[in-house]
Structure 1
Amino acid sequence: MNMLAKFGCAGVMAVSFAGAVQAEGGLNLYNWGDYINPGILKKFTEETGIEVNLDTYSSNEEMLAKLQAGATGYDIVFPSVHMQDIMSKLDLLLQTDINQSAGFANIDPLSLRAKSDPEGVFCLPYAFGTVGIYYKPEITGEITGWEDFFAIPEKTGGRITLLDDMREVLAIGHVMNGTSVNSVDPAEITAAQDYVLKQRPNVSAFTYDVPGLIATDDIAAAQYFIGMHVLTSNMENVKYVIPKEGGTLYQENMCVLKSAPNAENAKAFMEFYLRPEIAAMNVEQQFNGTPNIPARDLASYYIRNNTNITLPDETYERLQTFEDLGRGLRLYDRAWNTIRTAQ
């Protein structure tokens, strides 16, 4: 998942980060672009005196590659669930025992999705959302799922885009074929690839620049993250749908690195984020779901009653979450290369 994509572009943050991490005794976050409310960082500093530095990345792979290349000084990272499992295998994460903190009782047990951390001993569930379809109904008509989505160019002449994301794009093929988005069966992966290849002529681009393209009518519909609601909530001519055939649920968790220079400050920030009013601040600014159950009740009426953000049980039944594929990832790399190079 690419979080620059979630909100269109990296906005101006209230707390910035430049160059090497230096703030000794501070707190150094490495997060997805625009994936935390700047007001949260400001409030934490006001209450604790701990200065917060923020650096951002645009993909799980970028974050991991930077750490493996020797980047040091970061305290907290925000990996997706499957990346947390990978980082756990690599012994990169600190056991924080955050689940022993009183506020952990606020966390929905269903959000403990990491296979490497089923009790929340290491990381704190942070935020979740879906990947679905944004569309302009005046061009496309009503869209209910992937079949409608891929028919748009031929039926209306409107342009469509997919994410420049291997797992998310191949997930569509799996969903439409009735197979798991985490399958490592070569035949099932090839079938998912072939489904996408069949749609490839109607796809204008693989891109994260969806907010800009849809705002200027360059595209009629796109595969994208729910977080764009922060940009489109006041735009009557843009709608979002979780595909009826199925889709993906992403979740990021807040994890402290084993190499963290400010581990105590990092644990303090995790406990700060356990407070419902703090988690609710993120929901209001990000338009994502929160694992913090009391925080859901503090959200605005629009968010509490938006079934694309606050998901009903029946919606969960058609959503899948990515898992660590191990060596099977190489099969996806090959399939993705075939899709991206197809003419």
Structure 2
Amino acid sequence: MKQFLISLFLILLLAACGPSAEPAPAADEPGSDNAAVVSERCGDASRLDTELSVYNWTDYIDPEIIDQFEAECSVKVIYDTFSSNEDLLAKLQAGATGYDVIVPSDYMIAIMIQLDMLKELEKANLPNLSNLNEIFVDPPYDPGLVYSVPYQWGTTGIGYNIEATGEIPNSWEWIFNPEKAAQFDGKLSLLNDQREVIGAALKYAGYSMNSVDETELEAAKEVILAIKPYVATFDSDSFSEILVAGDVVIGQGWSGDYFQDIYESENENLGYVIPQEGGVIWTDNLTIPKTAPHPYTAEVFINYLLDAEIGAQLTNWTYFGSPNAAALPMIDDEVKNDPGIYPPEETMAKLEFLSDLGEGTLLWDRIWTEIKSQ
């Protein structure tokens, strides 16, 4: 994995120089007449449907991209959001069948493939796959991109207000050491995501973020419970917004969300750091459920997002890393030159992808339930 991460860094460097369990919204029948399409980015107009249902993470696409796609392709996008991979999986397993495009993370892709939930992609409908950075075309969770297309990538670390911390909190100790955490009583936040929170506690304790060892997981649980009295909230939707608002002064979260809100706030006291122990590196991916009512239109939408210009527009809005090599020249310098977004090699070597836990998932579920209930 370390070799994979270092290769990712080198290639990027060279190129740069939720929800309820109710069913998804009902959609129209496939094969609708859509002769009004004029853009060459919209595929075969005769095969497009008039609606497309997308299920994505919160605040994870420039709204103008949706508007542009609707205008260019005469397709109405029905957009819904979720807060964690587990919420996404639970909703689909509960019977939601109307979604055309979903955006699971790497480890969840592997789970959904095993559960036979995803449609194989028609590569002929995705010519913009050629825009991808070569390191992303054969990922360990979906070799050969049979079911998924990389959307954005990033890291999980610490957002902070240096007026409160006094220095850059470059270790998980600032969150998981009770003496440190007590300084931020009621002003500390954690993600509402069991893989991220337990994983970070495992990393702090010196273990792998993908451990399924019961002793190690129990140790991580005790680490979290020891600082839980000081935690203001478990939040995966607005963690960066509450940092900017001053409701918290330190927290765990995803790189792009922090950068997006910090840059917009123009508050020089706010920052984001990847802890020295390491953390999560992840890739979110565009996929099509087997139950998708509009698979061709879904592939046209995915190919649209793989366009170089659209890919740059996306990253310039989200502040997450782009897997799109053709987009890199158009990405703002403040984004591609920021080490928190495109980390240096030594930092990349300490990051881990979250992997499928297999039967260990039940143990993780129990540990998380015990953490949240105490």
Whether TM-score is above 0.5 comes out as yes
Which TM bucket (shorter chain)? 0.7 to 0.9
Report the Cα offset of residue 161 of structure 1: 2.0
CA distance in 2, matches of 1:287, 1:195: 31
On the 8 A contact 1:99/1:119 being kept in 2, the answer is: no
Matched, 1:213 2:213: no
Which ranges in structure 2 are unaligned for 5 or more consecutive residues? 1-17, 30-48
Q: 1:127 aligned to 152, 160, 163, which one?
A: 152
Distance between the aligned counterparts of 1:247 and 1:221, measured in 2? 16
Aligned length: 327
Q: Does residue 243 in structure 1 map to residue 269 in structure 2?
A: no
278-287 or 95-104, which moves further after superposition? Answer: 95-104
Alignment of 1:1-343 (within 5 A): 20-24=25-29, 25=49, 26-98=51-123, 101-112=126-137, 115-142=140-167, 143-149=169-175, 150=177, 151-154=179-182, 159-208=187-236, 209-226=238-255, 227-233=257-263, 234-342=266-374
- Shift of residue 339, structure 1, vs aligned partner: 2.3
* Deviation, structure 1 residue 86: 1.2
Task: Write the deviation string for residues 72-95 of structure 1: whole angstroms up to 9, x where unpaired.
Answer: 221111111111111111111111
Q: Kindly tell me: are residues 212 and 304 of structure 1, through their superposed partners in 2, closer, same or farther at Cα, counting changes over 3 Å? A: closer
Distance in 2 between residues matched to 1:182 and 1:92, nearest whole Å? 23
Give the letter aligned to residue 148 of structure 1. W
Q: Do 1:174 and 1:192's aligned partners in 2 also have CA atoms closer than 8 Å?
A: yes
Counterpart amino acid of residue 328 in structure 1:
G
User: Do the aligned residues in 1 keep the contact of 2:202 with 2:220 (CA within 8 Å)?
Assistant: yes
Give per-residue Cα distances to partners, 1:203-261, cap 9 Å, x unaligned.
34333443343234332211111122111112212111111111112221000111221
If the length of structure 2 is used for normalisation, what is the TM-score? Answer: 0.80
Counterpart code for 2:249: A
* Distance in 2, Cα, partners of 1:302 & 1:253: 24
Q: Which amino acid aligns with 1:309?
A: I
Distance 1:101 1:72, change over 3 A: closer
Partner of 1:196, secondary structure, is: helix
Choose 331-340 or 268-277, whichever is displaced more: 331-340
SS at match of 1:205: strand
Q: Distance in 1 between matches of 2:98 and 2:193?
A: 28
State the alpha-carbon separation in 1 of the partners of residues 124 and 206 from structure 2.
Answer: 36
Shift in Å, 1:40: 1.5
Q: CA RMSD in A?
A: 2.5
Q: 1:333 to 1:297 in 2, by over 3 A?
A: same
Shift in CA distance, 160/256, structure 1 to aligned 2, threshold 3 Å: same
Residue 153 of structure 1 and its aligned partner are, at CA, apart by: 4.1
3-state secondary structure, aligned to 1:319: coil
C-alpha separation in 2, matches of 1:77 and 1:293: 23
- Taking the aligned partners of 1:117 and 1:159, their CA distance within structure 2 comes to 39
Letter in 2 for 1:145: S
Partner secondary structure for residue 335 of structure 1? helix
The TM-score, its normalising length taken from structure 1, stands at: 0.87
Q: Could you report, residue by residue, the CA deviation over 1:112-139 in whole angstroms, capped at 9, with x for unpaired residues?
A: 5754521112210001111111111111
1:154-173, Cα deviation, whole Å (9 max, x unpaired):
45768322222211111122
**Percent of paired sites with the same residue:** 35
CA 1:305/1:99 → structure 2, altered by over 3 Å: closer, same or farther?
farther
Distance 1:320 1:88 in 2: 21
In 2, distance between residues paired with 1:218 and 1:188? 32
1:139 alignment partner AA:
A
Match of 1:4 in 2: none
Amino acid at match of 1:228: Y
1:177 and 1:314 map into 2 onto residues whose CA distance is: 20
- Superimposed CA distance per residue, residues 32-53 of structure 1 (whole angstroms, 9 cap, x where no aligned partner): 1221112222222333222222
Aligned-partner residue type, residue 231 of structure 2 = V
3-state SS of paired residue (2:155): strand
Residue 201 (structure 1) shift = 4.2
Q: Secondary structure at the match of 2:346?
A: helix
Q: Partners in 2 of 1:58 and 1:157 — Cα distance?
A: 25
Report the 3-state secondary structure (helix = DSSP H, G, I; strand = E; otherwise coil) of the residue aligned with 2:313: helix
Distance 1:245 1:99 in 2: 43
Q: Distance in 2 between matches of 1:259 and 1:337?
A: 31
Mapped contact 2:188–2:250 kept (Cα < 8 A): yes
Moved more, 188-197 or 112-121: 112-121
Deviations 1:251-302, CA, capped at 9 Å, x for gaps:
2100011122111111111222221111111101111111112212211111
